[in-house]
Structure 1
Amino acid sequence: MTCYGNGSLTGIVSCPGSRSTCPGTGESDMERRNLHLCTAARHVPSSTAAPSRKNRRQGTIYQVYEPIFFQSIGNPFIFRCIDGILIDGNDKGISKCVYRSCSRRDQLGPFKLSDVTWLTPHHRNPLAVGQYVNNCSNDREANVCYQELEVPEDFPIELRQYIPNIKYSHDVTGPLRCVVLVALRDIQKEEELFSNYYTIVH
């Protein structure tokens, strides 16, 4: 996800070795990766985009007619936009290979047109990565929501290296689809983040 918002940008951090405060949550993919929960790095005002090391729905962008069957097998990190566009944010397996391949394909001379560092432990973009935010529950209401946005085609080419999204097909025209997390209320420092997977602000 790209993170723009009203007010100052804020941070979200993944806390290694910490367990979710959400009751009844067992070992998840996030815990197996030692990324147990996402918390606010500082106070986040309501209606502000909540950027982070773990906040943007990054990945390969698929149009509704493009093949994603094999990438989807056992993959909990595919996000479906309102219009049916899919964003595959998995940093493992086939999904990782597809993203790296598309990134190399689209490189324009010395300019990288997407960020691949979110696939590694060393992230170049501190605003990237949001697929590890837990879903809300009856005991923990959502404090962030998803909002779709599009990166215009005239976005500066030298800054595209920080956008962790890429189109599956190189001949697809139009803006680049991204999804951000936006605070639904004031969020305090170190408060765990919860989203509703079924709620998208359009």
Structure 2
Amino acid sequence: MNFIKKFGFWIERQPSKLTNGGIGVIVTHGSVPINTLVGLYPGTVYKIGEPIFLQSIANSFVFRCADGTLIDGNDMGISKIIFRSCTFRDRIGPHLTSDMTWLTSYPVNPLNTGQYVNNHTQENPANVMYQEINLPLKEFPYKLRKFIPNIPPTSRLSFNKKYFS
């Protein structure tokens, strides 16, 4: 599937146009229709009580959800090592259960760059809206999980279940 042909736009991480904005997400091709999903916050998903202290030190990419869940979206250092390790831990044979390409400069899914979307400033109002969603992973097809940029730090797979039929 050609992403631009299907959705009408392409986004990439680039230096922000905001002063001192660091890296941001820029629409590089096409335009984004109103009410369109433009980003997913990738990373290791920590439920309340799961250890994240070491990964959180000097890490501006730890995002706290309304329910207390934390998502570590840092694509460097120990955070990157933990995400890769958990992804390989949970794979089922040759099938990965999460997308690791967001850890690189060129993610396969351009939406897996949500941790780089900059907040508004006084001079620049927000042009995106934040929305939390919970994917029902127990019902989510395992063959499609390779496109989801999130993974838990502890295995939540049930090995009594038949994943592929």
TM-score, normalized by length of structure 1? Answer: 0.67
SS for the counterpart of 2:116 is: coil
TM-score, normalized by length of structure 2? Answer: 0.81
RMSD of the TM alignment (CA)? 2.1
* Structure 2 residue corresponding to 1:59, chosen from 26, 37, 43: 43
Is 1:171 aligned to residue 159 of structure 2?
no
Segments of structure 2 that go 5 or more residues without pairing to the other structure are: 1-5, 159-165
CA distance in 2, matches of 1:154, 1:69: 31
Structure with bigger strand share is 1
Tell me the residue number matched to 1:11.
9
* Structure 1 residue corresponding to 2:63, chosen from 79, 83, 93: 79
Whether the 8 Å contact between 1:128 and 1:164 is mirrored in structure 2 is yes
Tell me the residue number matched to 2:141.
156
User: How far does residue 140 in structure 1 lie from its aligned partner after superposition?
Assistant: 0.7
The alignment covers a number of residue pairs equal to 151
Identity of aligned residues (%): 45
- Structure with larger RCO (C-alpha < 8 A, sep 6+): 1
Q: Which runs of 4+ in 1 moved over 6 A?
A: none
Tell me the residue number matched to 1:43.
31
Q: Which residue identity is paired with 1:120? A: T
Segments of structure 1 that go 5 or more residues without pairing to the other structure are: 1-7, 31-36, 174-202
Whether the 8 Å contact between 1:12 and 1:38 is mirrored in structure 2 is no
Whether the 8 Å contact between 2:46 and 2:69 is mirrored in structure 1 is yes
Whether the 8 Å contact between 2:8 and 2:32 is mirrored in structure 1 is yes
Q: How does 1:7-156 map to 2 (within 5 A)?
A: 9=7, 11-14=9-12, 16=14, 18-20=15-17, 22=18, 25-26=19-20, 28=22, 30=23, 37-40=24-27, 41-50=29-38, 55-152=39-136, 153-156=138-141
User: How far does residue 155 in structure 1 lie from its aligned partner after superposition?
Assistant: 1.5
Structure with bigger helix share is 2
CA distance in 1, matches of 2:21, 2:126: 21
